[in-house]
Amino acid sequence: MGIALERRGPVQILLLDRQEALNALTPAMIDELVTALDAAANDPRVRAVVITGVGRAFCAGADIAVMVDLDVDGARAFAEAGHGLANAVSACSVPVIAAINGFALGGGCELALACDIRIASDQARIALPEVSLGIPPGWGGTQRLARVVGEGFAKQMILTARMVRADEALAHGLVTAVHTPDDLLDAAVAIGEEIATRSPSAVARAKALVNIALGDPIPGLAAERVAFAAAFADPERKEGMTAFLEKRPPGWMTG
């Protein structure tokens, strides 16, 4: 499967359902998500959107097996697709809530960062592990994470590539609440239902104004896409991704 849809009253739920790959996003899934967000924004019955994953992952980002053979031009197109999805979430007039049920890694973390509200299961694990593969984050992570958690913790997460538990994410404002796995989706829907009791036009305007208050990320996002693509000409990138697929340490660790 790819993207499944479920409606609970005024809340549209988008379920990432590619469990065999920890819900890693394919180009087709990206297109489906963008289409679903556009449909939600244009449906007056939908007042909020929830994005969550099926199984033990929210989204593991992009498939490394797909990225390993990309050249610079292919990487640039890949980054643009991911940025297009994140920008569609950010620009959606309907508030978008991420219910992070499990692993949110790389592009999965970046998808959650583009959402307006993030809540997590106590089993959630969040990371931007790209530097361990020889690349920087490429779907908006370098720009949006610092806006959410501040410069210091953002750099710690990005430069160490370490995985953050739900309680630590809560302490740093990366998520606003932590729930049991059984309660997570209901909690996200409840937020959406509360939003649905407010003026839809006022909600849309308020979301846009808060985004303005955070500053325009577009120049930084453009620089990120360039840096991400340029990394695909670097031997360390090829070594990092090959080592990941072969389940061994990369050469820069072993000497």
Please say if 130 is a catalytic residue.
yes
Whether the CB-CB separation of 168 and 144 falls below 8 Å is answered with no
Q: Which helix (H) or strand (E) holds 103?
A: strand 103-105
- Radius of gyration for the alpha carbons in the chain, expressed in angstroms and rounded: 18
- Among 228, 90, 95, 112, smallest CA distance to 164 is for 112
Q: Which helix (H) or strand (E) holds 193?
A: helix 181-196
Q: Active-site residue among 6, 32, 130, 239?
A: 130
Rounded to the nearest 10 degrees, the angle between the axes of helix 107-114 and helix 141-149 is 50
Can you read off the two tokens belonging to residue 72?
């610079």
- The C-alpha atoms of residue 50 and residue 186 are separated, in whole angstroms, by 10
Tell me how far apart the terminal alpha carbons of the chain are, to the nearest angstrom.
Answer: 41
Identity of the amino acid at 154 = A
- The C-alpha atoms of residue 79 and residue 234 are separated, in whole angstroms, by 16
Q: Active-site residue among 6, 110, 168, 194?
A: 110
DSSP 116: S
| Active site (catalytic) residues | 110, 130
